[in-house]
Amino acid sequence: MRWLALIALAAFFSEGQSPAQTSQDSSAPAQPTITHLAKPTAEPENSGAYASPAPGEKEGPSKSDIGPVQKHFVLASQTDNLAETQVDDNKSLLLKEKTTLDKRISVKLIHDVQNDSTFRAGENHALDYERDYLNWGAVTNEQLQARQGHYFTITWKNDGPRSDFIARFQYRQVKSKEIVRTLIQPMPKVSGATRSYFAVVNQAYLAYGPVYSWRFTILRGDTVVAESKSFIW
């Protein structure tokens, strides 16, 4: 009898687990279906499809950079043909210019400085600052050389009606002696105090030296209305 009870009990547990196992198997997720993708192909070459990379910007100022200060000046920076210069510029001295000086137009101050190895500021900090100001931005030896020269800052004033003028700077240099060169600067609609800037720099300065005589004139049209000149002009 004991054996019959054990067999009946075993049969009961085996029958109770079968439905559970069947139910668990039916709820199991189905195996995914494997899909085969098409074989990848390389993109066709097209040289015109993409722009070439942009060139990188130059680092630092270039050799052609004349400096932030010099951009305000009318510059003579290159050597020239002395014979042609003699003809083109000196011929103006042979002509009788129209001159009608206007007392309302005056040249107040002419300030010049030689920016080169001979410059000596001494204990004058203002002069030392002026040299640093002219050389501002120079990094290479070429840039320092481009800033060497003789600079003229001319302050003048128009107390008359607002008008258009031409500021003209004529000058002689030490090594080219009597040859006169001319720089001009249009000055439109001037009223009150203003300034004109002229400089001989770089190759023109190294070749012919500093300015030793000069004449500054202000023209309205073709008529000289004001002037100032050096003692030995």
pLDDT digits (tens, 9 = 90+) for 137-188: 888 888 888 899 999 999 999 999 999 999 999 999 999 988 999 999 999 9
Q: Is the pLDDT of residue 88 over 80?
A: no
Token digits of residue 148? 């060497």
- Domains identified in the chain, total number: 1
Tally Cβ neighbours within 10 Å of residue 112: 15
Report if residue 168 sits inside a domain.
yes
Give me the CATH number covering residue 126.
2.60.40.10
What distance in Å separates the CA atoms of residue 10 and residue 12, rounded to the nearest whole number?
Answer: 5
Report if residue 113 sits inside a domain.
yes
Report if residue 26 sits inside a domain.
no
| Whole-prediction pTM | 0.69
The residue segments making up the domain with residue 146 are 70-229
Report if residue 37 sits inside a domain.
no
What distance in Å separates the CA atoms of residue 123 and residue 111, rounded to the nearest whole number?
Answer: 19
pLDDT digits (tens, 9 = 90+) for 200-231: 999 999 999 999 999 999 999 999 999 999 99
Report if residue 41 sits inside a domain.
no
Report if residue 155 sits inside a domain.
yes
Give the contacts of 125 (CB within 8 A, at least 6 positions apart): none
